[in-house]
Every structure is written in structure tokens, then in C-alpha cells.
Amino acid sequence: MRKVAVIGIGSSRFGVRNDVNMAELVFEAFKPSIEDAGISPKDVELLAFGSAGAGVWCEEFVPAAVAAEYCGLTGAGIVRCEAACASGSAAFTTAYWAIASGHVNLAVAVGFEKMRQVETSTAIEWIGRAGQYFWEFHNFGVTFPAYYALYARSHMARYGTLEEDLALVAVKNHKYGSMNPIAHLRKRVTLDEVLGSPVVAAPLKLLDCCPISDGAVSIILASEEKVRELGIDTPVWIAGIGYSSAATNMSRRADYVGFESSVKAAGEAYEMAGVGPGDVDVAEVHDCFTIAEIIAYEDLGFCRKGEGPKLLRDGQTEIGGRIPVNIDGGLKSKGHPIGATGCSMIYELTKQLREDAAVEGRQAPMRNYVALAHNVGGTGHYCYVTILRR
């Protein structure tokens, strides 16, 4: 297998983007990514396009082809990848495989979703179908806040986790999101504001939940040979990738305090990269709800099971702590355009490894130049863990 690097990144602004159509939103991310890489659209051999909601939230049923034409990629190979909220990571991994296998030398992974063209109730219904439709959504009306509320209640019952601990995740991530110029929710919140916000699915409140967002992210990947040919002086290497899945029927889960798919995917990624949790300088984890970030600390090995709240309370997941997490605001504040999130994590970690986030006051200290992205689809139905290194 060949070495593969990230050589270009670009992101749209996240939020309610009624000012652009889907192709224009993708181009907003694609243009800076090819400029960053120093290439032209004709150099791209493959477009891997991550989107979970083709024909659901926005007008285009075949968004990859429409976006490719608008971006000048007609003639390149195109594939759309779907893995629910991990669709962006599925696209990134597909582009990685194509290069690592020797099939192409240069590919682009685009993560995209435009979710705000439909009513909120419609968006919530479609997201709710990302579990097992007939058993859970159709029969019981379970939506994603309810799924994660189940995990929150279980974690609280077993480990004594408090609602205040969940709220601390929101406070932290909104702090960093307020410093991120492309974030959807650029507003700091207090502990009291989080705890006093309306209940959505107890114990989760409105400010425990990520927003419904529009956004697109573009990542340019290249083979080692192409990196040399282009004279790239700051490549970020893909050191490890792990992936796994879990039962769609929640009654078949062993427990509700962690995701087995995250544990397995992380183990594969660590082994491939030859590193461990203690080597990671900065991480992006899937915090669609505040409990999800706490569970991720534990599943990824940043602390022992049940100790996630303590890691958070002690400030160890802030800049200056042992393992800064979601210092771009995470899904909670930066936003969660479902298909874009996996690529958005790579975008942020590439900035961190290049030490380009200092200008925004969000730079994590680098000891080992190792970064980790953890992207979950559904409620652990899919999981991708990617380790980057510079």
C-alpha cells in the first residue's frame, strides 16, 4: 500500500445557507482546496462525495455529478458515499483507498449536506430513519435525541455522570466555536444557560444538541509520488484508518454506555499508525449530543470507562490540557451538515498539524504532531477513526 497525504483543504461557512444552491456551496469549499494544493480541477482523477441525504434535504438527487460539473471535474471518476453521519469519512476513506492501492495519484473527498431547505420536523424525521426504521422509528417514534438520551441515562446510572457534566461539553465547545469564523453557532454559552434550555429528550436539553446545518468541505489527497512531484512542503500523512459497525436494532446492543464500533475502529487505527491514545496531540470527536463527546473520550482510550466526566471537569480536553478535543467548536457549535462532518474533522486537524489555527487563537500545542478524527454514523451504526501525522 502506498503512502497517502492530505495536500489541500477548503471549507464553506457552516450555517443556514439559503444564499447558495448545492453546487455553489460545494464550490465554496472546493476552490480554496485546489488553491491550497496548487493544482487545477483537471488534475483530479477521482471525486469521492459524501452525502447522506441525496434528494431528501435539497433539490439534487445526484449531487455528486452536479457538483462535479460545477467544479470543473467532468471526466473524473465519481462515487457518492453514504454512511449516515459518517458519510464524509466514508468518502475520505474511499479516496484514500483509491490512492493507496495505486489506482489513482490524486483524488478529492468532498463532504456535503444542505439540510435547511426543508422544515425542521422533516429533517428530524429523516435523521430518525438512520436507525432501524420499522422497529424503532415507525413503531416507537424514536429520533436521534432519544437514542442519545438513552445512552446519557445509562451513563448517569452506572457512573454517576451529572447533567452539569453534559452541559460542560456545550460550554467548552461553544467557547471554541465562537472563535471559529466558519462555525454555525458563534456564541458562547454559560452552564446555567445550557441547564436552563428547553428539554428535548431528558436529560438532553436544546443546548446539548448540535444544530441542523448546511455546509461543504473539500479535501485533496495525493500519493507520495505526487507529493514529491508537486513539491508540497507541508503534507499531512494519513497514518491510520479504522472502521467498524454495530447492530441497527438497539435491543441487540450489549450495553448503552459506549459504542463497540468506536472501540474497534480506534484499535485498528492505532495499530495501523503505530501510536496509542497518549500520543495524540489533538482530537475531533463526534459530539452530535454532549453525552457523545464524553463517551468518545472513553471509547478512544483517552481515559478509563466512567472517567470521561472527570477528564472534562479537570479541563484536560481544553487547549493546554492533556488532550484538546473539538477546539473548532465540534458538531455542537461548528455545526453538523451530516455528509460534511467527517471531512470537516480532517480540515480542522490538518490546520492544527500545520499550526495554522494560531491566528484564530485555537492552536493546540504539538508534541508528536499526531491528530485523531472520530466520526460516528447513526448511534454507532458506523464508525470511522482516522489518525493523521505530520
56 CB-side CA count, 13 A? 20
Give 40's contacts (C-beta < 8 A, 6+ positions apart): 34, 72
3-state DSSP assignment of residue 273: helix
From 3, 180, 253, 210, select the one nearest 113 (Cα to Cα). 210
Known catalytic membership, residue 336: yes
Q: Which of 58, 71, 81, 85 is catalytic?
A: 85
Start-to-end C-alpha separation, the chain = 19
Tally DSSP H helices, then E strands, for the chain. 14, 11
Report how far residue 308's alpha carbon sits from residue 311's, in angstroms, rounded to the nearest whole number. 5
**Can you read off the three cell numbers belonging to residue 243?**
472502521
| DSSP symbol at 134 | I
Report how far residue 106's alpha carbon sits from residue 383's, in angstroms, rounded to the nearest whole number. 25
Task: For the chain, list the strands marked E by DSSP.
Answer: 4-11, 46-50, 77-81, 106-114, 199-201, 204-205, 214-223, 236-245, 282-284, 370-377, 382-389
Beta bridge partners of 387: 240, 372
Q: How many other C-beta atoms are found inside a 10 Å radius of the C-beta of residue 201?
A: 20
In angstroms, what CA-CA distances link 32 with 17, 237, 324?
18, 20, 27
Q: Which of 155, 174, 336, 381 is catalytic?
A: 336
Report how far residue 114's alpha carbon sits from residue 338's, in angstroms, rounded to the nearest whole number. 9
22 neighbors 66 (Cβ within 8 angstroms): yes
Report how far residue 227's alpha carbon sits from residue 124's, in angstroms, rounded to the nearest whole number. 42
Known catalytic membership, residue 343: no
Report how far residue 42's alpha carbon sits from residue 39's, in angstroms, rounded to the nearest whole number. 8
Q: How many other C-beta atoms are found inside a 10 Å radius of the C-beta of residue 272?
A: 16
Q: Residues with catalytic annotation?
A: 85, 336
